[in-house]
C-alpha cells in the first residue's frame, strides 16, 4: 500500500509538472500585441499568409516569433516577399517588444512610413528594402537607439535625410540608396542639436547611392572610425573632395562616381592604405592625378571621364601590385604606356580609351591574368607581342595603326566597340530527361521549380567575370544558405553601364522537398541581412521570381471523407484536362503542319529552311490585298519611315494592322528571315503582337494585332478621348512593362531605339502596348552586340526623344530607351510635343523646376487634366528628371522605373 501511495504521488507530480509546462508553453499572446497585429492586418491583402485564430504565439503564425521565456510577446516579424499589398498602419507601433521587423521585397506595400515605428525602441533590425514606401523618412526613427541594421533602400522615399538619424549610434548597416532623397547630407556641425550621419560611430556600411543628394561631401564623414564601404555614387554632390579623406581609418570601398565633384583629387587619399576600390569616374575633377602608390591593397581604380590637365602616363601605377582593373578613359593622358604595366601579376582589365597615348604598345610579356585591353581612340602606331593565341582581347579602333594596311591585325582588334562583360555557364552535363510543366532541369538531373533571384552587386572588386569567380559565388551562397551543391545554380552574370554586377541565381528545393512559403521566407530573411560576399561586395536583390508554393501557414486536418472527395475531384479534373489536352494538341499540330506547308511554299527565293516562327503565320499577298480592299487609302491608318499601315479584315472577321514596307525599306531575304524569327519570340501583353507576315510578289509586310484606340500621341493631341490621371499612369505602367521586357526578359535583349508617344498604342481597354520594335531596324541590337552594354551604331531615332549621349557618341545602351521614356512621361503630364515652335519641352520644364518657378510649371500641365494628386505629379516629374540625366549611367533601369510607377498607381487605385 505504501508503495502504491508513493507511486501515485510520483505520477501526480509528473502530471502537475506536465500541466505546468503545457500551460506556460501554450500561454496566449498578450492582448495588446494581438490587437496591434490584427489592426495592421486590416490594411493588408495577401493570399500567402494563412493566419487563423487569436493566438499568434501559441499557434505559431507564419513569420511571427515570440519571446522564449513566456511565449506571450511578439518579438519578430519576418514577412519578406509574402505578397503584401496595402499600407503600413500606425498600429505597428503597438508591438512594443519587437526586436526585428522585416517586410522587405513586398513591392506593393506602399504609402508613408508611420512615425509610430519610432516607438519600437527595442528594435535591432528594421528591414524595409525593396518595398513601395513613399514620403519622407520620419525623424522619429532616431529614437531607435538599439538599432543595428537599417535598410530602407530601393523605395520611393523623398525629402531630406533627417539629422535625427544621427542618434542611431548602434547601427552597423545603414542603407538609404535608390530612393528620391534630396538636399545635403546632414552632419552634426550644421544644426543646433549636433546631430548628423557623422554621429553613426558604429557604422560599417554607409550606402546613399542613386538619390538626388546635393551640396558638398561633408568632411565630418571622413572621421567615422569604422566605415569600410561609403557608397555615394549617382547623386548630385558637388564641390571639392575634402582633404580630410586622409583620416579614413578603415575604408575599403569609396564610390564617389557619377556626381559633380570638381577641383583636384586630394593627395591625402594616398594615405588611406586600406582602400581596395576607388571610384571617381564621371565627375569634373581637374589638375594632375596625384601619386597613389601607397595604396598597396588597391584592386580597382576608376578615374575615367574627368577634366584632368594633360599629363604623361603616371608611372606610379606600376607600384600597385594588387591591381586587377584600371580605367582611365578620357583623362587627357599622353606618352607611351610602359610595358611593365601589362606584367602586373593580378591585372585583368586595362582601359585607356579616348586619350592621347602614342607610340608602341608592347605586349611581349604579359600577366597570365590579363583579359582585356581597351585603347580605342588614341595615337598608337604599332603593337608587338600580339598573336592569335593571346589569351586577352585587345581593342585598338580609332588609332593610326588600324589605318596602316601594312599591319595584319584581326578585324576584332580594330573594332570601336567595347561590350560590357557578361558570363553564361557551360551547359549542364548530359541528362536523358526532359522537364514538363515549366519546370527546369536541376544540376542533379531532376526537374523542379526554382526560386529565381537577381542579385545586384553594387561594388565588386573586379570587372572580369571568370568561371572561378562564379564558382566562388556559388559556394558562398550555398554555405551561407545551408544548401547542397545541387540546389544552387548561377544562370548568368553581366555588368551594367554603371559598374554594377547583375547575377541570376536559381535555387532549387532539395530532392525530398517542395517549396513552401516558410522555406522561401527563410532564404530571403538570410539574404535580407545583406552580408557581404567577399570580392562581390555589398549587394541587394533586384528581382524575385517565386516558384509555385504549397501549404503556407498552419496545417489543416481533413477527415477521410473529405480527402477522398478531394482525390476524386482532382482525378476527375485531371481526366478532363487530359481530354482537352489531346484535343488541343491535335488542333495545334494540324495548324502547325498547315502553317509549315504554307511557309515552304511562300518563302520564295530565300535560301535555307523556312524561318522558325513561334505563333506567327505566313499570309499570301492576295489574302492581305483582299483584307485591305486592295490597300485602299480609306483603310490606311498610319504612315512612317518604314512604310504605310493599313487596317485589314480577314474573312473570319479578325481585324489586323498590316505594315507594308516601301521599296526603300526592303531588306535581303536572309536578314528579313532572321528578324522575323526574333520578332516571333517577343511575346508580352504590353507589346503589340506579331500575327504574321507576307514575303512574296516583291513585298515585305508585317501583320500585327489591331489596336482600336490608336496611339497615345493622338489622344494627347486631342484627336481622341481625354485621358484621366489614372489612365495616364496606367498607360505609363503598361509601356514601361513592355520596354522592361525587351531589355531584361527577351532573348536576345532588344533596344527599341524609337520610344515615343506615337509608338505606344492603346487597345479597346486603353491598355498600352509598345509597337515598332522590330522590322524597321530601330529595335534590334544586331551585329552580335550585347544589349546590356554600349555598342557603336548609326544614330537613329526621333528628334526630341533622342538620347543626347547616344547622339554625341553614337554608342547606344538600354539607357537610351530610358531617356526617351522620360520624354514620354513629360508628354503625359503636359500633352505637348517634345519640340514645339523650335523649343524643347524638356529643357523648358527643367529650367522652371530649377528656378522653383511654380507659375511657369503650372502652365505646362495639361489643362484637361483633372483630379490628380499634386504630390503624385511631383513624384512623376522627379522620376522623369532622373530618366533625362545627361549621363546614361546615372539613369535608372526600366525595371526600376516600372516599380516606381506601379507604386504611384497603387496610391491612385
The dihedral of CA 396, 398, 400, 405: what is its sign? positive
Q: Among 305, 304, 245, which residue's Cα sits nearest to residue 275?
A: 245
The answer to whether the beta carbons of residues 368 and 390 sit under 8 Å apart is no
For every residue of 563-617, DSSP letters joined together read HHHHHHHHHHHHHHHHHHHHHHHHHHHHHHHHHHHHHHHHTTT--SSPP--SS-E
Helices of type H across 309-454: none
C-alpha cell at 593: 503542319
Nearest to 443 by CA among 367, 514, 511, 381: 511
Provide the pairing of β-strand 300-302 with 325-327.
parallel
Alpha-carbon gap, residue 872 to 908, rounded angstroms: 9
Write out the H or E segment, with its range, that includes residue 807.
helix 804-809
Q: Please, which residues have CB within 8 angstroms of residue 783's CB and are 6 or more apart in sequence?
A: 791, 793
Residue 305 Cα to chain centre, angstroms = 24
Helix pair 814-830, 894-908: axis angle to 10 deg: 30
Contact indicator for 655, 648 with CB cutoff of 8 Å? yes
Q: Which residues touch 63 (CB under 8 Å, ≥6 apart)? A: 49, 77, 78, 79, 82, 521
CA 261 to chain centroid: 26
DSSP code for 457: E
Question: What cell was used for 847?
Answer: 529650367
DSSP state of 426: P
- Cell numbers linked to 355: 586619350
Torsion angle in degrees (nearest 10) through CA of 737, 738, 742, 744: 10
Kindly name the residue from 33, 154, 499, 754 that is annotated as catalytic: 754
Which of 158, 160, 150, 232 is CA-nearest to residue 196? 160
* Cα gap 12→15, rounded to integer Å: 5
Cell numbers 581597351: residue: 374
Closest to 540 (Cα-Cα) out of 131, 108, 49: 131
Q: For residue 772, indicate whether it is catalytic.
A: no
Q: Look up cell 508613408; give the residue.
A: 112
Of the candidates 325, 373, 377, the one whose C-alpha atom is nearest the C-alpha of residue 499 is 325
Question: What gap in Å lies between CA 544 and CA 566, rounded to an integer?
Answer: 32
How big is the CA angle at 253 (ends 250 and 257), to the nearest 5 degrees?
135
Backbone phi, then psi, for 479, in 5-degree steps?
A: -70, -40
The DSSP string of 434-450 is ---TT-EE-TTS-EEPP
Strand order in the sheet with 379-384: 311-312, 333-335, 356-362, 379-384
Look-up of cell digits 506602399: 110
- Exposed e or buried b for every residue in 99-108, given b needs 16+ CB within 10 A? bbbbbbbbbb
- Give burial (CB, 10 Å; 0-12/13-18/19+) of 748: middle
Place of cell 489536352: 581
- Asked if 346 contacts 368 with a C-beta cutoff of 8 angstroms, the reply is no
Which residues are paired to 108 by β-bridges? 85
Residue with cell 489543416: 556
The verdict on whether omega for the bond into residue 552 sits within 30 degrees of 0, i.e. cis, is: no
Active site residues: 754
Amino acid at each position: 500500500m505504501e508503495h502504491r501511495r508513493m507511486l501515485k504521488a510520483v505520477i501526480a507530480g509528473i502530471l502537475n509538472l506536465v500541466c505546468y509546462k503545457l500551460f506556460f508553453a501554450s500561454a496566449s499572446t498578450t492582448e495588446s500585441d494581438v490587437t496591434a497585429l490584427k489592426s495592421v492586418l486590416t490594411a493588408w491583402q495577401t493570399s500567402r499568409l494563412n493566419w487563423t485564430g487569436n493566438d499568434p504565439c501559441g499557434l505559431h503564425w507564419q513569420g511571427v516569433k515570440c519571446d522564449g521565456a513566456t511565449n506571450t510577446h511578439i518579438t519578430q516579424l519576418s514577412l519578406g516577399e509574402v505578397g503584401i499589398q496595402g499600407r503600413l498602419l500606425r498600429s505597428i507601433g503597438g508591438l512594443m517588444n519587437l526586436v526585428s521587423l522585416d517586410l522587405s521585397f513586398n513591392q506593393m506595400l506602399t504609402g508613408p512610413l508611420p512615425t509610430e515605428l519610432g516607438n519600437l525602441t527595442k528594435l535591432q533590425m528594421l528591414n524595409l528594402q525593396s518595398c513601395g514606401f513613399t514620403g519622407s523618412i520620419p525623424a522619429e526613427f532616431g529614437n531607435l537607439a538599439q538599432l543595428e541594421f537599417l535598410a530602407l533602400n530601393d523605395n520611393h522615399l523623398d525629402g531630406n535625410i533627417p539629422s535625427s538619424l544621427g542618434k542611431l549610434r548602434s547601427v552597423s548597416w545603414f542603407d538609404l540608396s535608390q530612393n528620391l532623397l534630396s538636399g545635403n547630407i546632414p552632419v552634426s556641425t550644421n544644426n543646433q542639436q549636433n546631430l548628423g550621419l557623422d554621429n553613426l560611430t558604429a557604422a560599417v556600411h554607409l550606402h546613399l547611392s542613386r538619390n538626388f543628394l546635393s551640396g558638398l561631401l561633408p568632411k565630418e564623414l571622413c572621421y567615422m572610425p569604422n566605415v569600410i564601404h561609403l557608397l555615394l555614387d549617382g547623386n548630385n554632390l558637388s564641390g571639392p573632395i575634402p582633404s580630410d579623406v586622409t583620416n579614413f581609418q578603415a575604408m575599403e570601398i569609396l564610390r564617389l562616381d557619377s556626381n559633380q565633384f570638381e577641383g583636384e583629387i586630394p593627395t591625402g587619399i594616398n594615405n588611406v592604405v586600406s582602400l581596395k576600390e576607388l571610384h571617381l569616374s564621371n565627375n569634373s575633377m581637374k589638375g594632375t592625378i596625384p601619386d597613389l602608390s601607397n595604396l598597396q591593397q588597391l584592386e580597382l581604380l576608376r578615374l575615367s571621364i574627368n577634366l584632368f590637365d594633360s599629363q604623361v602616363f603616371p608611372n606610379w601605377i606600376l607600384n600597385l601590385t594588387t591591381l586587377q582593373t584600371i580605367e582611365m578613359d578620357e583623362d587627357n593622358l599622353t606618352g607611351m604606356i610602359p610595358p611593365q604595366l601589362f606584367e602586373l601579376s593580378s591585372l585583368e582589365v586595362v582601359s585607356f580609351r579616348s586619350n592621347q597615348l602614342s607610340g608602341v604598345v608592347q605586349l611581349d610579356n604579359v600577366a597570365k591574368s590579363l583579359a582585356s585591353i581597351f585603347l580605342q581612340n588614341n595615337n598608337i602606331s604599332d603593337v608587338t607581342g600580339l598573336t592569335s593565341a593571346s589569351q586577352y582581347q585587345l581593342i585598338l579602333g580609332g588609332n593610326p595603326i588600324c589605318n596602316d594596311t601594312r599591319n595584319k591585325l584581326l578585324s576584332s582588334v580594330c573594332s570601336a566597340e567595347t561590350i560590357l562583360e557578361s558570363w553564361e555557364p557551360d551547359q549542364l552535363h548530359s541528362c536523358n530527361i526532359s522537364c514538363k510543366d515549366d519546370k527546369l532541369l536541376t544540376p542533379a538531373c531532376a526537374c523542379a521549380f526554382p526560386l529565381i533571384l537577381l542579385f545586384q552587386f553594387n561594388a565588386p572588386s573586379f570587372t572580369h567575370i571568370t568561371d572561378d569567380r562564379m564558382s566562388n559565388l556559388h559556394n558562398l551562397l550555398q554555405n551561407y544558405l545551408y544548401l547542397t551543391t545541387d540546389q544552387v545554380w548561377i544562370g548568368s552574370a553581366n555588368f551594367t553601364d554603371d559598374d554594377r554586377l547583375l547575377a541570376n541565381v536559381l535555387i532549387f528545393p532539395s530532392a525530398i522537398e517542395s517549396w513552401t512559403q516558410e522555406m522561401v521566407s527563410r532564404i530571403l530573411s538570410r539574404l535580407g541581412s545583406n552580408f557581404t560576399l567577399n570580392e562581390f561586395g555589398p549587394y541587394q536583390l533586384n528581382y524575385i521570381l517565386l516558384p509555385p508554393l504549397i501549404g503556407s501557414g498552419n496545417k489543416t486536418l481533413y477527415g477521410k471523407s473529405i480527402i477522398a472527395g478531394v482525390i476524386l475531384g482532382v482525378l476527375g479534373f485531371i481526366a478532363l484536362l487530359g481530354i482537352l489536352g489531346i484535343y488541343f494538341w491535335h488542333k495545334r499540330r494540324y495548324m502547325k503542319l498547315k502553317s509549315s506547308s504554307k511557309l515552304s511554299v511562300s518563302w520564295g527565293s530565300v535560301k535555307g529552311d523556312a524561318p522558325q516562327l513561334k505563333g506567327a503565320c505566313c499570309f499570301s499577298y492576295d489574302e492581305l490585298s483582299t483584307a485591305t480592299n486592295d490597300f485602299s487609302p480609306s483603310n490606311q491608318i498610319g504612315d512612317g519611315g518604314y512604310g504605310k499601315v493599313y487596317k485589314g479584315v480577314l474573312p473570319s472577321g479578325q481585324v489586323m494592322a498590316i505594315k507594308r514596307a516601301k521599296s526603300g525599306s526592303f531588306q535581303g531575304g536572309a536578314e528579313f528571315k532572321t528578324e522575323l524569327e526574333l520578332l516571333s519570340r517577343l511575346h508580352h501583353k504590353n507589346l503589340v503582337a506579331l500575327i504574321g507576315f507576307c514575303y512574296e510578289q516583291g513585298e515585305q509586310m508585317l501583320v500585327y494585332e489591331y489596336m482600336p484606340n490608336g496611339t497615345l500621341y493622338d489622344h494627347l493631341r486631342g484627336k481622341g478621348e481625354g485621358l484621366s490621371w489614372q489612365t495616364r499612369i496606367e498607360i505609363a505602367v503598361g509601356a514601361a512593362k513592355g520596354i522592361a521586357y525587351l531589355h531584361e526578359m527577351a532573348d536576345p535583349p532588344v533596344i527599341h531605339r524609337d520610344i515615343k508617344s506615337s509608338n505606344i498604342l492603346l487597345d479597346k481597354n486603353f491598355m498600352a502596348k509598345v509597337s515598332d520594335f522590330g522590322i524597321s531596324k530601330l529595335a534590334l541590337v544586331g551585329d552580335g552586340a550585347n544589349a546590356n552594354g554600349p555598342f557603336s551604331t548609326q544614330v537613329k531615332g526621333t528628334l526630341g526623344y533622342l538620347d543626347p549621349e547616344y547622339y554625341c557618341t553614337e554608342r547606344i545602351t538600354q539607357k537610351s530607351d530610358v531617356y526617351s521614356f522620360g520624354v514620354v512621361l513629360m508628354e503625359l503630364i503636359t500633352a505637348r510635343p517634345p519640340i514645339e515652335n523650335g523649343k524643347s519641352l524638356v529643357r523648358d520644364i527643367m529650367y522652371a523646376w530649377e528656378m522653383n518657378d511654380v507659375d511657369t510649371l503650372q502652365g505646362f500641365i495639361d489643362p484637361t487634366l483633372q483630379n490628380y494628386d499634386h504630390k503624385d505629379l511631383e513624384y512623376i516629374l522627379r522620376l522623369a528628371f532622373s530618366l533625362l540625366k545627361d549621363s546614361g549611367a546615372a539613369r535608372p533601369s526600366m525595371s526600376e522605373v516600372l516599380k516606381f510607377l506601379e507604386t504611384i498607381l497603387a496610391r491612385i487605385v
